[in-house]
Amino acid sequence: MAGRPQFQSTPWTNGLPQVSPYGQTQQLDDLSLPISSARIRGPAMRQPREVTSFSYDESRDLHFDDSSLSYFYLLQDDVTASGGIDLSAGYNVFNKRDDTVDEHLDGLLLALVDLEKRTGKKTTGDIITWRGIVTKLLCLPYSRNEGFELNATWFDRQLFIEENLPYKLATQRPPDQRSELMSYWGYKFEQIATMPKPWNECSRQEIESRGQKPVSNTAQYCSVVKTGLGDVRMVIAGEVDCAWDYKPDPKDNIDSDPKLFDNPLDHYVELKTNRVIQSDRDASAFENKLLRVWAQSFLLGVPKAIIGFRTDQGYLQTFEEFETQKIPGIVKKSKYANPYTTWDGVDALAFLAACLRWLKTMIPKAEENVVWRIRYLPRSDYLTLSKTDEHSFLNTEFVKWRNESAVK
């Protein structure tokens, strides 16, 4: 078969039984992809290019603008002068978004409707999905402990993929107070490290009081980019934590010299927290965590990540900047990396290229609006694909727009 991924073993299927998370034994006579051996070596990566963006406000209303974009502002002196910033402050009034509400791909799809109305052109791409979903697939060869399910459907010659939220809710562990608090530390770090406007547009009071308001993860800013790997083109959307300095005005880039193009993606920053590294074990765990940091940033074209290091009691001690493109090399050369568990960015991309081509090839294009299930069972070696009796999860306004508009 021309164009088939170069597998080292059984290429597409196997017949071994496995038990699903729902307690049912499933014969793998559906399509399956061997994670250990599915690779396309040296796939060409298309440079991500932002095509539009959108914001959710504090009421979770959608806006096709940059209104929820934050801007980085944090000095080492702000952290060290006080002996550490308490990331637990305000935890009792945390405004946490309800993550049991299934928003599907709605924000992304409605942003594409807005884009296509403005440009008069259909947004091209083979696969349309969230950045977080592609991150799961990219990290899978080195992150086998957690299972997941995805839904996929063809529509208008494009494959749309979302997370199967009912599966996620049914299988995730109930969070304990400690894990909830640690999750909050990350949002608190984002709050004290950012401002709603560039620093030169903020008053002294706005700068000094930014950590005093209740923390909320309801508002979000998302970038939509066109990218691709191998022969699969993608449109992916992902949350951007903040801009380093400013976001270029698209009007300033119209008809400009390509050499002078001010790429919006070059100004974005990923924010994370991690415990202070005090031992070889801490260092090894941190380098494993860098896999996801790298994957998230790389896929969206974000050039740097800033990681805040905190104590086990939740006090921020310092922060450090990491260039996205250098992260795999840092891990590969590290004396802490375990040769049996360390990750390799080139190998992860080779797997992702095989995975994307497998999905594009094996899910029948002719069966529009039929939902296919992509499943990974914890600690298994196969990604499986099976047809369901379900029908399209796509936003009805998006479907109507594509069916009735003249964009092609």
pLDDT (0 to 100) of residue 4: 32
Calculate mean pLDDT across residues 235-256: 85
Does 26 score more than 70 pLDDT?
A: no
Classify residue 47 as left (phi > 0), alpha (psi -120 to 50) or beta.
beta
How many Å apart are CA 29 and CA 121, to the nearest integer? 41
Beta bridge partners of 217: none
| Predicted confidence band of residue 7 (pLDDT cuts 50, 70, 90) | very low
Least confident of 61-75, 84-98, 222-236, 338-352: 338-352
How many Å apart are CA 239 and CA 385, to the nearest integer? 28
In whole numbers, what is the pLDDT of the chain averaged over residues?
89
Calculate mean pLDDT across residues 39-44: 93
pLDDT (0 to 100) of residue 82: 72
Does 322 score more than 50 pLDDT?
A: yes
Does 32 score more than 80 pLDDT?
A: yes
Comparing CA positions, the residue from 284, 289, 274, 282 lying closest to residue 320 is 274
How many Å apart are CA 359 and CA 372, to the nearest integer? 10
Does 296 score more than 80 pLDDT?
A: yes
pLDDT (0 to 100) of residue 281: 87
| Predicted confidence band of residue 381 (pLDDT cuts 50, 70, 90) | very high
Residue 262: inside a domain: yes
More confident residue, 1 or 323: 323
Residue 1: inside a domain: no
pLDDT (0 to 100) of residue 207: 87
pLDDT (0 to 100) of residue 83: 79
Residue 201: inside a domain: yes
pLDDT (0 to 100) of residue 340: 55
Does 297 score more than 60 pLDDT?
A: yes
| Predicted confidence band of residue 255 (pLDDT cuts 50, 70, 90) | low
pLDDT (0 to 100) of residue 407: 77
Residue 209: inside a domain: yes
Handedness of CA 358, 359, 363, 364 (dihedral sign): negative
The number of folded domains in the chain is 1
Calculate mean pLDDT across residues 154-173: 95
Whether the CB-CB separation of 270 and 297 falls below 8 Å is answered with: yes
CA geometry: angle at 297 spanning 345 and 355, to 5°? 50
Q: DSSP per residue over 284-339, as a string?
A: HHHHHHHHHHHHHHHHHT--EEEEEEE-TTSEEEEEEEEEGGGHHHHHHH-SS--T
pLDDT (0 to 100) of residue 252: 67
| Predicted confidence band of residue 336 (pLDDT cuts 50, 70, 90) | low
pLDDT (0 to 100) of residue 68: 97
Three-state SS for 154-207 is: EECCEEEEEECHHHHHHHCCCCCHHHHHHHHHHHHHHHHHEECCCHHHCCHHHH
Calculate mean pLDDT across residues 175-192: 95
More confident residue, 333 or 20: 333
Q: Which domain holds residue 322?
A: 6-404
pLDDT (0 to 100) of residue 17: 36
Q: What percent of the chain has pLDDT over 70?
A: 89
Classify residue 267 as left (phi > 0), alpha (psi -120 to 50) or beta.
alpha
How many Å apart are CA 52 and CA 39, to the nearest integer? 32
How many Å apart are CA 118 and CA 116, to the nearest integer? 5
Calculate mean pLDDT across residues 241-263: 79
Calculate mean pLDDT across residues 363-383: 95
Tell me the per-residue pLDDT of 124-147, one tens digit each, with 9 for 90 and over: 999 999 999 999 999 999 999 999
Does 254 score more than 70 pLDDT?
A: no
pLDDT (0 to 100) of residue 339: 61
Comparing CA positions, the residue from 216, 212, 195, 186 lying closest to residue 87 is 186
Q: CA torsion, points 117, 120, 121, 122, in degrees to nearest 10? A: 40
- List CB contacts of 327: < 8 A, sequence separation 6 or more: 290, 293, 294, 297, 305, 345
Residue 134: inside a domain: yes
Does 109 score more than 80 pLDDT?
A: yes
296 exposure class (CB count in 10 Å sphere: 0-12, 13-18, 19+): buried
How many Å apart are CA 120 and CA 54, to the nearest integer? 19
Residue 183: inside a domain: yes
pLDDT (0 to 100) of residue 20: 39
pLDDT (0 to 100) of residue 78: 85
